Chains A and B, each alone.
Chain A
């Protein structure tokens, strides 16, 4: 029988030093007996001292304990059951052979350790949540007075050391002590220290802020949603005695019924007098011009367009932009994800490609009027992303109204349709793009319509010959459109 003696209940260092050589020798858990500090030694007490330090033993097996496993052991050591040493050792021993042993639902010690770990984590979490500091004074220091706080708490397990670092990280700027029956932790801004447990008589007195806190607690409670079981499961009664707000719970529950029926039967009151003094800016009534006489009015009216269903899902209308006297107008399909967010045309990946092509063709984007055939983003939501959907014929038709207005106010000499949707909207053609690319189509207003690829189409092509060729054509089309727009005025 090997006897291991730990200096105190949560002696992680000594436990760890003792366990490693035992594991290395693959000693069975049954052959070990564990004891802590002052307990009366049993018959074989002097047989084995805990192997510590550099004592060289006949190491026959390598030991592997991961960081997570060590953290688990540290937590489970805080348990109050003396059997924890046995179970932890059994688990560690099996983990040496089988790193997934804890997943085995039939492994008794594994189950015990997992359940213990769960209760300790819960206890730790509740301690983080339910410790209530009370201010007990101020301490002068070199950087001015430091506030001094103390708290009394009764955890289920020996978790004072386990939780102390958390409180130090959080309450660095104040002095505090947490007193519990299992031990106390103290922080002075620099050093974390521990002292033996104390009894409840040492608990600090009430704090002046407690009435404000209780007021807050009572006011944030919604009496028409009483659900006591949910409160009890998360904040069991055992914690209530140390929570200042818990004293008002019975009263709140009692009041709730009364208050609720009061709301429902109260007579309707006249609107408050302030309501008459404030003229509301009612969104729904903001004037929309009946007859649109300028580009600005068209843009404003389009912002509130509801003529198709697309406005329900999209963020905003993305209207065209550019100089109002532009000779060349580019028409794309519809705004994409990025455009929908920014509210501006061609600002996404397709826009980047367009910008590059414009530079290659020697065009200045600032001289062009750029818009889309459809002004709202049409998409299908898939989890956290939005998949582009080609606009339907109806959507193109109803949005044509805005495109026509843009044509009317800009009066470009040349319109370059980017992709099939734009071509369809401008001319009604639904032919394959390649069959009309490069041809001049006369518009009704005497403008010239040309068609080319949409930049997104180029993005979708796989890198290589085909894409390079299509990009070259695209750039050529841009140049052609520009030279037509620059050509001597024939009829405008």
Chain B
């Protein structure tokens, strides 16, 4: 019996849920006032709904098809899997996107696909969806295309001119792991494709030196991102973060997404079919933030860690601060920004507010309470005009005060 559109939607959304990214922000501002179509993007993306897994639903995240000729063992859509298969036509995806968008269900489309026939054929179909949305339907919403690294670079160039973001998944942190789990893929091909996207973005930037009015068409204005699966192979956190650091610096990625490997339907038995390591994923994101916004280096984060893994019980910044107590307490009334952002419990926004507030008044602990995310954590590391942590900072029990209570292992 032929599948209805709703049946296909269920299969293909189900197949797409392992892609972590749902970002729809930081693209160029555009709207439909001039074109009379639908769609706008205004800097900050909007999450239109939240699923009970706590993740936002911002884009219509869907596969064009979940048939695939590849056999990547971590993937639910690999050729040897017995999952139900479906395929949507270009028209069906276009119509579904517009219909959902007009009801304000979504910010746009995140299109991905299994590889059918060839990489080029599949990529052509994806580019065609974006082209119809943009050109025939004057769609100005967000489009994220999951690029197929093996596809012709010319197709990737075409995709960049239509989409807000391109992403190419690195999948696993090391080359060896990728060869083991995804024999048809190669890190070199993936990285070369990322290099191509970076060049595309740079080539389409207006030349500042030439003061001409000429503005080249925007190429993937929201940049490129990638995704790494965490917990399917035996890579350590240090390996993962080293890989991210390389990717960020090499291809100017906007984001590296870490996706805790979660049990998939009809999984190959050599995969860890346990609860996805959500806390590990969370700690990796925290470490990633420390690298990108807090001026930390990978080596610093892993300096005191014997097994090259992040502490699951406390966040990496707190873990670092506890190992470097000699640098604390920091006086919030005089410390520099670089010192303040390394205080556990103070985020970039809090630090910014502290810097502004202390021009007005000498800060007391009560003021920090209204500013900081958690004064309970940061007070051990700061001095204010009416507070000093004294021996609290040197106390051996300090770590225990922050770590969650030890729990007896459950028998299951």
Overall SS of chain B's interface: loop
Residue contact B179 to A384, C-beta cutoff 8 Å: no
In this complex, what residue of A is CB-closest to B297? A382
Interface string of A316-342 (1 = CB under 8 A from B): 100000000000000000000000111
Residue contact A220 to B51, C-beta cutoff 8 Å: yes
Residue contact B52 to A231, C-beta cutoff 8 Å: yes
Residues on A with C-beta less than 8 A from B60 are 216
State whether A174 and B183 are in contact (beta carbons under 8 Å apart), knowing that A235-B49, A260-B263 are contacts in the complex: no
What is the CA–CA distance of A227 and B279 in the complex, to the nearest angstrom?
12
What is the CA–CA distance of A225 and B39 in the complex, to the nearest angstrom?
31
Interface string of A216-232 (1 = CB under 8 A from B): 11111111111111110
What is the CA–CA distance of A315 and B194 in the complex, to the nearest angstrom?
9
Residue contact B10 to A219, C-beta cutoff 8 Å: yes
In this complex, what residue of A is CB-closest to B29? A169
State whether A278 and B79 are in contact (beta carbons under 8 Å apart), knowing that A104-B357, A284-B183, A315-B191 are contacts in the complex: yes
Give the shortest distance, in Å, between B291 (CB) and chain A (any CB). 8
- Tell me how many residues of A have a C-beta within 8 Å of chain B: 94
Return the contact of A173 from the options B14, B38, B46, B103 (Cβ within 8 A). B38
What is the CA–CA distance of A103 and B185 in the complex, to the nearest angstrom?
53
Which of A76-84, A154-162, A268-276 faces chain B? A268-276
Residue contact B33 to A169, C-beta cutoff 8 Å: yes
Residue contact B248 to A383, C-beta cutoff 8 Å: yes
Within 8 A of A (CB), among B271-294: 273-276, 278, 292
Give the shortest distance, in Å, between B256 (CB) and chain A (any CB). 13
Which of B94-102, B160-168, B311-319, B336-344 faces chain A? B94-102
State whether A103 and B13 are in contact (beta carbons under 8 Å apart), knowing that A172-B36, A340-B195 are contacts in the complex: no
Which of A39-47, A131-139, A466-474 faces chain B? A131-139
Question: Does B6 make an interface contact (CB < 8 A)?
Answer: yes
What is the CA–CA distance of A253 and B262 in the complex, to the nearest angstrom?
17
Residues on B with C-beta less than 8 A from A311 are 175
Give the shortest distance, in Å, between B122 (CB) and chain A (any CB). 14
What is the CA–CA distance of A54 and B155 in the complex, to the nearest angstrom?
62
Residue contact B360 to A224, C-beta cutoff 8 Å: no
Residue contact B356 to A100, C-beta cutoff 8 Å: yes
Give the shortest distance, in Å, between A374 (CB) and chain B (any CB). 17
Within 8 A of A (CB), among B41-76: 42, 46-57, 60-62, 69-71
Residue contact B188 to A215, C-beta cutoff 8 Å: no
Question: Does A140 make an interface contact (CB < 8 A)?
Answer: no
What is the CA–CA distance of A128 and B58 in the complex, to the nearest angstrom?
12
What is the CA–CA distance of A108 and B79 in the complex, to the nearest angstrom?
64
Question: Does A308 make an interface contact (CB < 8 A)?
Answer: no
Residue contact A149 to B105, C-beta cutoff 8 Å: no
In this complex, what residue of B is CB-closest to A211? B6
Residue contact B17 to A104, C-beta cutoff 8 Å: no
Return the contact of A275 from the options B9, B11, B13, B79 (Cβ within 8 A). B79
Within 8 A of B (CB), among A272-290: 272, 274-275, 278, 280-285
Interface string of B8-47 (1 = CB under 8 A from A): 0111011011100000000000011101111110100011
Give the shortest distance, in Å, between B25 (CB) and chain A (any CB). 12
Residue contact A383 to B249, C-beta cutoff 8 Å: yes
Residue contact B46 to A283, C-beta cutoff 8 Å: no
Return the contact of B278 from the options A104, A227, A266, A316 (Cβ within 8 A). A227
What is the CA–CA distance of A209 and B80 in the complex, to the nearest angstrom?
34
What is the CA–CA distance of A226 and B9 in the complex, to the nearest angstrom?
22
In this complex, what residue of B is CB-closest to A168? B33
Residue contact B10 to A130, C-beta cutoff 8 Å: no
Within 8 A of A (CB), among B238-279: 245-246, 248-250, 252, 260, 262-269, 273-276, 278
Residue contact A220 to B13, C-beta cutoff 8 Å: yes
Residue contact A272 to B52, C-beta cutoff 8 Å: no
What is the CA–CA distance of A243 and B50 in the complex, to the nearest angstrom?
11
Residue contact B9 to A215, C-beta cutoff 8 Å: yes
Question: Does A171 make an interface contact (CB < 8 A)?
Answer: yes
Residues on B with C-beta less than 8 A from A223 are 53
Within 8 A of B (CB), among A288-328: 303-304, 306, 311-313, 315-316
What is the CA–CA distance of A235 and B55 in the complex, to the nearest angstrom?
11
Residues on B with C-beta less than 8 A from A280 are 69-71, 79, 183-184
Residues on A with C-beta less than 8 A from B40 are 166, 169-170
Residue contact A313 to B246, C-beta cutoff 8 Å: yes
Residues on B with C-beta less than 8 A from A171 are 32, 38, 102, 104
Return the contact of A272 from the options B10, B51, B80 (Cβ within 8 A). B80
Return the contact of B48 from the options A101, A130, A170, A272 (Cβ within 8 A). A130
Question: Does A464 make an interface contact (CB < 8 A)?
Answer: no
In this complex, what residue of A is CB-closest to B352? A103
Residue contact A219 to B13, C-beta cutoff 8 Å: yes
Return the contact of B52 from the options A215, A221, A381, A382 (Cβ within 8 A). A221
What are 22 A-B interface contacts by the 8 Å CB criterion?
A: A104-B357, A105-B367, A128-B46, A133-B104, A134-B103, A169-B32, A169-B40, A171-B32, A172-B32, A212-B9, A213-B103, A213-B105, A215-B6, A215-B9, A217-B57, A219-B11, A228-B52, A263-B263, A271-B79, A340-B250, A379-B249, A383-B292
Give me the 10 closest cross-chain CB pairs, A-B, nearest first. A230-B54, A227-B54, A381-B249, A271-B80, A219-B13, A169-B31, A172-B32, A221-B51, A275-B80, A103-B356
18 extra interchain contacts, Cβ-Cβ under 8 A, other than A125-B46, A173-B138, A220-B13?
A: A104-B360, A106-B367, A129-B48, A134-B103, A209-B99, A216-B100, A219-B13, A221-B53, A230-B55, A253-B52, A263-B265, A263-B267, A283-B186, A315-B194, A316-B191, A316-B192, A316-B195, A381-B249
**What residues of chain A have their CB less than 8 Å away from a CB belonging to chain B?**
100-101, 103-106, 111, 125, 128-135, 147, 149, 151, 166, 168-174, 189, 207, 209, 211-213, 215-231, 234-235, 243, 245, 249, 252-253, 256, 260, 263-264, 266, 268-269, 271-272, 274-275, 278, 280-285, 303-304, 306, 311-313, 315-316, 340-343, 379, 381-386
